[in-house]
A and B are shown apart, each in its own frame.
Chain A
Amino acid sequence: MSGYWIGLITILSINVIFAYGIFLAVATGQLNLGGAGFQALGAYAAAYLAMEMDQPLVVTIAAGMIVAGVIGFAISFPILRLKGVYLVLGTFAFAEVVAGLILNSDALGGATGLPVPTFIDWDVPAIAAIVVALLVFWLMSTRFGLVVRSVHDDEVVADLMGVNVRMVRVCAFALGAALAGLSGALYAHAFSFVEIQVFNASLSIYVLLYVLLGGAQTAWGPLFGAAFFTLLPEALRDTLPALKEAVFGTLGIEGASNPPDESWRFVILGVATVLMMIFRPEGLITRTLVERLRPLNRAPRRAPAEAAE
């Protein structure tokens, strides 16, 4: 495989795991805008253990997960007291605090970053992404998943049905933080270098968009969202110059224009986001869509008489 495809599969796998981490919180009705913070925790935990302590890959990646998961668990108690937009701001502030602490820490390299000695190829992230996807699909099919979705829909009724709403939210948030940490640890080893500038606010926004635009009702949503928004800019890489030529041609601007830069991709991404919010506000993949595609459900209705047997 060429380097281009290896890089693409690696980043796609990391984004899928990252998106599932945020999805678990969003599925209980909590928008987590602190994704980059949890990913940074995982990445730096792995990088530090690999660089300074010569720990093997298994240990560093597990540590990345555990550090992010434990910190996610600890902060979930105060932070999940917040609701709605305040919760969004709270998680966002958490990510900023993490970034600020790492930036000012000499042990973690500060603004210069940390090199990571142990390199992993595309296969480790890819396998991890498949395992995480299967895990989340399995979780969402259990009673835990049922309860998660109920808490999202109506927490008062869920409580009256016997659900420990707080426990469910804390578990989902902490488990999501651990997955975000895993994606960070994989990032550190796949790119052999971590610097805190990578784990910025727009990364948190992107991963939340993957989940919201993909759809937070089923485990299919983040998978499609992450894949779509990771691959879209790549697909646009070839079409964009042609598009720019056409636009300039229509406007009558002659001569060789510069090849379009990064900002054009963001314009297209922004337009896609707005269109999605208008036409599919609940995300690309909704529960109703999944049910419609399920062969089992195409069976005719059971007649009441037959059902009563």
Chain B
Amino acid sequence: MTQPLLKVDNLSKSFGGLAVISEVSFEVPAGGRLALIGPNGAGKTTMFNLLTGVYRQDVGTVTLDGEVIDAYPSRARIGLGMARSFQNIRLMPHLSVVENVMLGQQSRAKGWRDFISPVTAFGRSAAYREAEDLLAAMNIETRPGDVVATLPYGIRKKIEVVRALAAKPKLLLLDEPAAGLNAVETASLRDFLLQIADTGVTLLVVEHDMSLVRSLCTSTVVLNFGRKIYDGPVSKVHEDPQVLEAYLGPRHAGEKEPAHV
């Protein structure tokens, strides 16, 4: 078997005396679609913050595409091929849609010339056209010049994913992409994400909506209180006694299949 794209090995992180992530290991194969799930406070977003370098782990190593990335500062990691979205939309509110996507290209800009040649004036620059084309290819229904603060929630969610894609990542980390979306928007988002996966991008998704997880992802890792309690195919996760216990409490485990897992 080829090496995994992302390898998380024995990762631990504490804030003060509180262990938020404890000895978690898992792998994401290249081209895979893995869901990271678990009850609120299980440490899913902390895991993303450790992977992207917002926090530094106390113990453990993260390997991306065969390279240990622990020494890289947060701003350098996107250049290694790992881009992310955020739980609460964090687009730049005063930038236009295209400018937000152009910010996603930042990790590929090299040297002074790239910094001091106009990208948003004097006609369409190469960067501007590339961002426009990416938005069009992803069927974002908006005028590229629109300022982000004025756009509806569902569209902003998608634009945030497109901004991450503009970095041409190998691995895309999505933090609750469907949070706050209705059923129609969620279905549209799933097709959108499958379209991205088809281009060869590996997905690691934190998500609470289990129907989206089932239709989008092939395997899943379940965290509870910072520990990994399940690692396997999505189709078997609802049969696992530890997962049922985590979601429903010990009394219900094994009695019946939970409605929302």
Q: Are A160 and B104 in contact (CB under 8 A)?
A: no
When distances are taken between beta carbons in the complex, the residues of chain B under 8 Å from A137 are 121
Is there a chain B Cβ closer than 8 Å to A156's Cβ?
yes
Given known A-B contacts A153-B93, A288-B150, A161 and B104 have beta carbons under 8 A apart: yes
What is the chain B residue whose CB lies nearest that of A165?
B75
Is there a chain A Cβ closer than 8 Å to B78's Cβ?
yes
Q: In A166-204, which residues have CB < 8 Å from any B CB?
A: none
Q: Mark A273-293, 1 if CB is under 8 A from B, else 0.
A: 000000000000001100100
When distances are taken between beta carbons in the complex, the residues of chain B under 8 Å from A156 are 54, 90
Q: Are A161 and B90 in contact (CB under 8 A)?
A: no
Minimum Cβ distance to chain B for residue A304 (Å):
5
Is there a chain A Cβ closer than 8 Å to B127's Cβ?
yes
Minimum Cβ distance to chain A for residue B107 (Å):
3
- Docked CA distance A142–B139 (Å): 27
Query: What is the count of residue pairs linking A and B with beta-carbon distances less than 8 angstroms?
Result: 118
Minimum Cβ distance to chain A for residue B247 (Å):
31
Among B1-9, B60-68, B141-149, the stretch that binds chain A is B141-149
When distances are taken between beta carbons in the complex, the residues of chain A under 8 Å from B146 are 291, 297
Among A44-52, A144-152, A247-255, the stretch that binds chain B is A144-152
Is there a chain B Cβ closer than 8 Å to A81's Cβ?
no
- Scoring A146, A158, A301 by chain B CB atoms within 10 A of each residue's CB, the highest score goes to A146
Is there a chain B Cβ closer than 8 Å to A141's Cβ?
yes
Q: Mark B145-169, 1 if CB is under 8 A from A, else 0.
A: 1110110000000000001000100
Q: Are A161 and B107 in contact (CB under 8 A)?
A: yes
- Docked CA distance A307–B76 (Å): 33
Q: Are B167 and A161 in contact (CB under 8 A)?
A: yes
- Docked CA distance A293–B115 (Å): 27
Minimum Cβ distance to chain A for residue B246 (Å):
30
What is the chain B residue whose CB lies nearest that of A287?
B94
Given known A-B contacts A138-B118, A143-B117, A288 and B147 have beta carbons under 8 A apart: yes
- B116: contacting residue among A142, A152, A153, A304, CB under 8 A: A142
Q: Are A146 and B75 in contact (CB under 8 A)?
A: no
Q: Are B120 and A145 in contact (CB under 8 A)?
A: yes
- Scoring B92, B127, B146, B167 by chain A CB atoms within 10 A of each residue's CB, the highest score goes to B92
Chain A interface extent, by class: 35 or more
- Docked CA distance A161–B149 (Å): 19
Is there a chain B Cβ closer than 8 Å to A162's Cβ?
yes
Q: Are B143 and A302 in contact (CB under 8 A)?
A: yes
Is there a chain A Cβ closer than 8 Å to B109's Cβ?
yes
Q: Are A164 and B103 in contact (CB under 8 A)?
A: no
Q: Are A158 and B103 in contact (CB under 8 A)?
A: yes
Is there a chain A Cβ closer than 8 Å to B119's Cβ?
yes
Given known A-B contacts A160-B52, A301-B142, A143 and B115 have beta carbons under 8 A apart: yes
When distances are taken between beta carbons in the complex, the residues of chain A under 8 Å from B99 are 146, 149
Given known A-B contacts A157-B86, A161-B103, A162-B106, A144 and B116 have beta carbons under 8 A apart: yes
What is the chain A residue whose CB lies nearest that of B160?
A157
When distances are taken between beta carbons in the complex, the residues of chain B under 8 Å from A291 are 96, 145-147
Q: Are B92 and A153 in contact (CB under 8 A)?
A: yes
What is the chain B residue whose CB lies nearest that of A300?
B143
- Docked CA distance A296–B96 (Å): 14
Is there a chain A Cβ closer than 8 Å to B114's Cβ?
yes
Minimum Cβ distance to chain A for residue B66 (Å):
21
- B106: contacting residue among A141, A154, A161, A301, CB under 8 A: A161
- Docked CA distance A137–B121 (Å): 9
Is there a chain A Cβ closer than 8 Å to B84's Cβ?
yes
Is there a chain A Cβ closer than 8 Å to B136's Cβ?
yes
Is there a chain A Cβ closer than 8 Å to B259's Cβ?
no
- A141: contacting residue among B94, B122, B141, B147, CB under 8 A: B122
Is there a chain A Cβ closer than 8 Å to B79's Cβ?
yes
Minimum Cβ distance to chain B for residue A218 (Å):
9
Q: Are A162 and B107 in contact (CB under 8 A)?
A: yes
Q: List 22 A-B contacts (CB under 8 A).
A: A141-B119, A141-B120, A143-B114, A143-B115, A144-B115, A146-B95, A147-B106, A149-B92, A150-B95, A153-B92, A157-B86, A157-B92, A158-B92, A159-B74, A159-B75, A161-B106, A165-B75, A291-B146, A297-B146, A301-B142, A307-B135, A309-B136
Where the two chains meet, the residues of B that have a C-beta atom closer than 8 Å to any C-beta of A are 52-54, 74-79, 84, 86, 90, 92-96, 99, 102-104, 106-107, 109, 114-122, 127, 135-137, 139, 141-143, 145-147, 149-150, 163, 167
Where the two chains meet, the residues of A that have a C-beta atom closer than 8 Å to any C-beta of B are 137-139, 141-147, 149-150, 152-154, 156-165, 217, 287-288, 291, 294, 296-297, 299, 301-302, 304, 307-309
- Given A143-B109, A153-B92, list of 4 further CB < 8 A pairs? A143-B127, A146-B95, A161-B104, A291-B147
A-B pairs, top 3 by smallest CB distance, nearest first, are A162-B107, A141-B121, A307-B136
